Amino acid sequence: MVVAAPSLLLAASPAEVAGEARRYRQANEQRIIAELIALLALPNLAGDAPNIERNAQAIQELFARRGLKSRLLRIAGAPPVVVADLPAQGAKKTIAFYAHYDAQPVDASQWSTPPWEPAVKDGRIFARSASDDKGPIVALLAAIDALRAAEIKPGVSLRFVFEGEEEAGSPHLGAYLEQFKDDLAADAWILCDGPVHQSGKQLLYFGARGVTDAELTVYGPARSLHSGHYGNWAPNPIVTMTHLIGSMRDTEGRILIEGYYADVKPLTEPEREALAAAPPFDREIQRELLIGRTEGQGVLNERILQPALNLRGFSGGRVGEQASNSIPVDARASIDFRLVPAQTVERVRELVERHITRQGFFIVRDVPDAATRMAHPNVIRIVWGHGYPAARTAMDLPIAKQVTEIVAAAAGHAPVRLPSLGGSIPMYIFQRGGTVPVIGVPIANHDNNQHAANENLKLQNLWNGIEIYAALMAALR
Amino acid sequence: MVVAAPSLLLAASPAEVAGEARRYRQANEQRIIAELIALLALPNLAGDAPNIERNAQAIQELFARRGLKSRLLRIAGAPPVVVADLPAQGAKKTIAFYAHYDAQPVDASQWSTPPWEPAVKDGRIFARSASDDKGPIVALLAAIDALRAAEIKPGVSLRFVFEGEEEAGSPHLGAYLEQFKDDLAADAWILCDGPVHQSGKQLLYFGARGVTDAELTVYGPARSLHSGHYGNWAPNPIVTMTHLIGSMRDTEGRILIEGYYADVKPLTEPEREALAAAPPFDREIQRELLIGRTEGQGVLNERILQPALNLRGFSGGRVGEQASNSIPVDARASIDFRLVPAQTVERVRELVERHITRQGFFIVRDVPDAATRMAHPNVIRIVWGHGYPAARTAMDLPIAKQVTEIVAAAAGHAPVRLPSLGGSIPMYIFQRGGTVPVIGVPIANHDNNQHAANENLKLQNLWNGIEIYAALMAALR
């Protein structure tokens, strides 16, 4: 166990702190990796309560090893929030570091190694949550260790807040911040979720897109039918769905739903400047992803500032060897929507449902009964998931400038600054109505397969993350 | 074992023969059901060579039990064709009865009872092939038994021909008929495949639609991507596919591919008359299938005389609990095409591929390499299955009238006569260039879940089938 020493290396610069963190890391790599691997071995789907509990306890144990007392905040029916504090004597501010310890669902059949059996290969750790977010959690802990080893004391009080249902849409995070006001108070938040820029440069993000999702089911015949005897007469639900999807979104990413772009707020001048300074990297990513075209006009960094409608899945009947000449009973589509300021989840849902109704569908919430199916030419079941709005922190706030300078010094290069992450994290909750600054300082490699099979974290990104976080902890005021 | 007696009940009318068959059946129901169950217990996918062989041998054994010598015709790499003859002394004609002993693929997870563990429930036998075509095979054997028991001798030589790869598109049936000209010669064919009319009335069909199928794959990013970080920029393959499907077919069953209807041959006058005499039954079927609309204008019997493009399956990403906020790597669609006179498989493929090319796709036959994917905005892999054309037998031929009269007498009602079955069976091969009459006399219930989960045969349909087939065997001249 590392114990804080009384002496204090005063006014170490962010670059010096990063150097100390590097030396510490180089001497402790195997221990850090072992700590991450142990954490990654715990399955952590938000809905899997017993395992989620094991994860929360494992993180508490990691704090305890460092002599830090943590606590589990609890709301009935929700995964606990793990909180630990590292107060600084005389500090006027508390800066909170946020990450989540739950994970996206897995389709194990697509993984090269089992998702919860961490494998180190080619300089990366493969496992569900390696990058999103257990890697960052372990980086934060190692940064604390590195500061202590170098006898560097933070100039602000530090608070660590780890959520357990971010990938489920953070349905209770608002309630947690409301119910545990003091436990979760902070003057600013540093979010550790997300990947760095595709160029490999450190990334700072000052916003995030909002998100919601919907499961759509349309219905064909009550039983699967021989396509020869009934094809052309019994409605094919796959065709019903393809035409509906076609009416909602074109192949260029443009959402065709009436009024959808009416609420979209334009970029500010500092946001435009930061965006213009970001290195172009599209062609390289295209080559890496083997895509012969991109959707719409404009570079990736601009495209992710737009609202998006993404088809997560489409399923009806069978393809390949399992295909049979029949008309399937239903077709399902799963969609995620990315929201930008000032769209609201409610308005998006309203516009989508108005559009679907106008396409001639009768909307139901549950599996429709026989009478409902017979009474309407087209019945669609829509089940909405959780959702939350987008958020932005102004790039010209003092804390925004401080974070930019510290990260630049620690990383040795000017970070890419984006007005918003393309992905969604519930920044709006931390903002408490827009009064609390929230800035994202992610560390994961951009090709981390986040949310997909073979999620991974490059070890070099873990090492860089320890230096960046140590510098922020030491130098923020 | 039943042995043919020397005496002979001369000139029994079809109705009398049917009566004899009924009495025989009533006395032997359990034995007939046991015979069918034993046959249904053998898995019989066309591609499963060892089991297909077991099925062929089991059918040979059924003939042997009756003292009938059967033989297996063989072409390398194809399931054997089972042939058995029942010659009639002095007969000038040979009438062949055709059925197939192979089955459509199964998705066992959708079945209430395992597909190859026959279950008798509510007056039906549930199993793969119960109706399509093992039920009809057992009905033919029982009809032979019934005629022998009643000492009725057929007036024509009978030939029984059972194919083992109909559900795979009968890729070798043409070669079999070519290579085994004498073994498979017949003056006319009675096909036992398919269901009766939805009204429950006996059905005669004088044609069948042709068929072919295609597997389409379109490509997104090389690895699954976080939809937040890349959505709106990396092409979503599901959307690419939905728009392609949307361009090929509308929700009313109309095929939008240029020139697709140019080859379609109009109905003859006898065909129109037969169609007009068929009982309307659409509203009842709609209620049974819980469909609030039908595709296009016109009754089912007319709709199935049109070319059809059916979506058998669509798969991309994940839906429901497994959905994650990502852009999938590909999307697949499986399509079956139903052909009518005088469309050809070659022309259909040509028109479809021309259409897809015009939509901006580069067509490949195998999984595309990186260079191909980067060189084209949209790459599509198309894999065509087997296919064959439609066929029709003129309704005013003498044999056509004979069959109509015998079936009417045996069934006690005028059969519904359709110019063509909506489904596909390789009638064109039996027609030998249009010179040999081919007429379908199906016995399965229309709601038999053919090609789908929980395939079944109503016992009453099996009983009726024995009477119909016995009458045809006895009375055809």
Between CA B99 and CA B55 the distance in angstroms is 13
- The residue of chain A nearest to residue B241, with distances taken between CA atoms, is A242
Cβ distance of B292 and A378 shorter than 8 Å:
yes
Interface of B with A in 307-336 (CB under 8 A): 308, 310-328, 331-334, 336
> What is the pLDDT at residue B74?
98
Cβ distance of B243 and A251 shorter than 8 Å:
yes
Q: How far is CA B343 from CA A251, B59, B239, in A?
A: 32, 36, 31
Residue B306 near chain A (CB below 8 Å)? yes
**Token pair 């049109």 in the structure block, residue:** B306
Residue A245 near chain B (CB below 8 Å)? yes
The answer to whether B357 and B363 are in contact (CB under 8 A) is yes
> What is the pLDDT at residue A11?
66
Q: Which of B225, B231, B451 is opposite residue A308, by nearest beta carbon?
A: B231
Counting Cα atoms < 13 Å in the Cβ hemisphere of A65 gives: 13
On the question of pLDDT at A2 being above 70, the answer is no
Residue percentage of chain A with pLDDT more than 90: 87
- The residue of chain B nearest to residue A382, with distances taken between CA atoms, is B320
Cβ distance of B338 and A370 shorter than 8 Å:
no
- The residue of chain B nearest to residue A195, with distances taken between CA atoms, is B229
Helix (H, G, I), strand (E, B) or coil at A320: helix
Cα-atom radius of gyration of chain A, to the nearest Å? 24
The answer to whether A32 and A135 are in contact (CB under 8 A) is no
**Please, what is the angle between helix A14-40 and helix A49-65, to 10°?**
140
Q: Which of A228, A333, A449 is opposite residue B423, by nearest beta carbon?
A: A228
- Respond yes or no on whether ipTM tops 0.90: no
Which residues 6+ apart lie within 8 Å of B228 measured at CB? A209, A211, A304, A308, A338, A421, A422, A423, A424, B325
| Burial classification of residue B30, based on how many CB atoms lie within 10 Å of its CB (0-12 exposed, 13-18 middle, 19 or more buried) | exposed
Give the pLDDT mean for A201-229.
95
Minimum mean pLDDT range among A24-38, A189-203, B326-340: A189-203
Q: Which of A295, A321, A449 is opposite residue B232, by nearest beta carbon?
A: A295
> What is the pLDDT at residue A10?
54
The answer to whether A205 and A442 are in contact (CB under 8 A) is yes
Nearest to A214 by CA among A430, A361, A43: A361
Q: How far is CA B294 from CA B209, B217, B283, B291, in A?
A: 20, 29, 10, 7
Residue A346 pLDDT level (bands cut at 50, 70, 90) = very high
Q: How many A/B residue pairs have CB atoms within 8 Å?
A: 377
* pTM confidence score: 0.79
Between CA B227 and CA B354 the distance in angstroms is 32
Which residues 6+ apart lie within 8 Å of B449 measured at CB? A223, A224, B131, B455, B456
Q: Which of A224, A229, A334 is opposite residue B318, by nearest beta carbon?
A: A334
Helix (H, G, I), strand (E, B) or coil at A383: strand
Q: Which of A314, A370, A423 is opposite residue B226, by nearest beta carbon?
A: A423
Nearest to A462 by CA among A473, A470, A454: A470
Residue B371 near chain A (CB below 8 Å)? no
Q: pLDDT digit string (tens) for A149-166?
A: 999 999 999 999 999 999
As given in the structure block, the two tokens for residue A178 are 């409301």
The answer to whether A446 and A198 are in contact (CB under 8 A) is yes
Cα-atom radius of gyration of chain B, to the nearest Å? 24
**Would you say how long chain B is, in residues?**
477
Between CA A343 and CA A353 the distance in angstroms is 16
Q: Which of B223, B321, B378 is opposite residue A105, by nearest beta carbon?
A: B321
- The residue of chain A nearest to residue B295, with distances taken between CA atoms, is A233
CA distance B122 to chain A (A): 18
Neighbours of A413 (CB within 10 A): 13
Q: Which of A213, A224, A226 to mutate to test the interface with B (most CBs of B within 10 A)?
A: A226
Residue B223 near chain A (CB below 8 Å)? yes
Which residues 6+ apart lie within 8 Å of B177 measured at CB? B184, B429, B430, B432
Between CA A303 and CA A305 the distance in angstroms is 5
Nearest to B248 by CA among B302, B314, B303, B305: B314
Dihedral pair phi/psi, residue B127, rounded to 5°: 180, 155
Between CA B239 and CA B316 the distance in angstroms is 10
> What is the pLDDT at residue B432?
85
Between CA A6 and CA A152 the distance in angstroms is 10
Chain A residues with CB under 8 Å of B293 CB are 235, 377-378
**Token pair 């995070």 in the structure block, residue:** A173
Helix (H, G, I), strand (E, B) or coil at B279: coil
* Position with higher pLDDT, A97 vs A433: A97
CA dihedral B299, B304, B309, B312 (to 10 degrees): 90
Identify any residues that bridge with B162 across adjacent strands, giving them in sequence order.
B82, B99
Residue A187 near chain B (CB below 8 Å)? no
Counting Cα atoms < 13 Å in the Cβ hemisphere of B292 gives: 19
Q: pLDDT digit string (tens) for A452-468?
A: 899 999 999 999 999 99
- The DSSP symbol for B335 reads E
Q: How far is CA A44 from CA A52, A111, A167, in A?
A: 5, 16, 10
- The DSSP symbol for A249 reads B
Strands B330-339 and B210-219, bridge-based pairing? antiparallel
CA distance B466 to chain A (A): 23
Interface of A with B in 387-426 (CB under 8 A): 421-424
What amino acid occupies position A184? L
Residue A358 near chain B (CB below 8 Å)? no
On the question of pLDDT at A59 being above 70, the answer is yes
> What is the pLDDT at residue A432?
85
Q: How far is CA B98 from CA A365, A391, B120, in A?
A: 49, 69, 26
Angle (nearest 5°) at CA B433 between B427 and B435: 90
Cβ distance of A234 and B295 shorter than 8 Å:
yes
CA distance B28 to chain A (A): 32
Cis amide leading into A342 (omega within 30): yes
As given in the structure block, the two tokens for residue A228 are 């020869």
> What is the pLDDT at residue B11?
66
**pLDDT under 50 in chain B at which residues?**
1-9
CA distance B452 to chain A (A): 6
| Burial classification of residue B71, based on how many CB atoms lie within 10 Å of its CB (0-12 exposed, 13-18 middle, 19 or more buried) | middle
> What is the pLDDT at residue A467?
98
Nearest to A374 by CA among B252, B283, B446: B283
What amino acid occupies position A463? W
CA distance B106 to chain A (A): 7
Nearest to B424 by CA among B280, B213, B131, B259: B213
Q: How far is CA A218 from CA A364, B248, B357, in A?
A: 10, 20, 29
Q: Which of A228, A316, A338 is opposite residue B424, by nearest beta carbon?
A: A228
Nearest to A24 by CA among A154, A136, A145: A145
Residue A1 pLDDT level (bands cut at 50, 70, 90) = very low
- The residue of chain A nearest to residue B47, with distances taken between CA atoms, is A321
Minimum mean pLDDT range among A172-181, A222-231, A426-435: A426-435
Q: Which of A195, A333, A370 is opposite residue B229, by nearest beta carbon?
A: A195
Residue B48 near chain A (CB below 8 Å)? no
Q: Which of A225, A234, A251 is opposite residue B239, by nearest beta carbon?
A: A251
CA distance A1 to chain B (A): 38
Nearest to A312 by CA among A219, A234, A216, A168: A216
For B392-457, the DSSP string reads E--TTSHHHHHHHHHHHHHHTSPPEEESSBSS---HHHHHTTTTS-EEE---B-TTS-TTSTT-EE
Q: What is the mean pLDDT of chain A?
A: 94
Between CA A136 and CA A18 the distance in angstroms is 16
On the question of pLDDT at A5 being above 80, the answer is no
**Strand order through the sheet with A81-86:** A70-73, A81-86, A157-163, A94-100, A188-191, A438-440, A203-205, A416-418
CA distance B181 to chain A (A): 30
The answer to whether B209 and B424 are in contact (CB under 8 A) is yes
Strands B203-205 and B416-418, bridge-based pairing? parallel
CA distance A232 to chain B (A): 5
Q: Which of B290, B323, B423 is opposite residue A373, by nearest beta carbon?
A: B290
Residue B175 near chain A (CB below 8 Å)? no
Q: For each of the domains in chain A, give its residue range(s) and CATH number, in order of start.
A: 14-209+391-475 (3.40.630.10), 210-260+307-388 (3.30.70.360)
Angle (nearest 5°) at CA B459 between B457 and B465: 85
Residue B227 near chain A (CB below 8 Å)? yes
- The DSSP symbol for B329 reads S
Cβ distance of A304 and B228 shorter than 8 Å:
yes
Interface of A with B in 78-107 (CB under 8 A): 104-105, 107
Angle (nearest 5°) at CA B5 between B1 and B8: 140
Q: Which of B227, B300, B313 is opposite residue A319, by nearest beta carbon?
A: B313
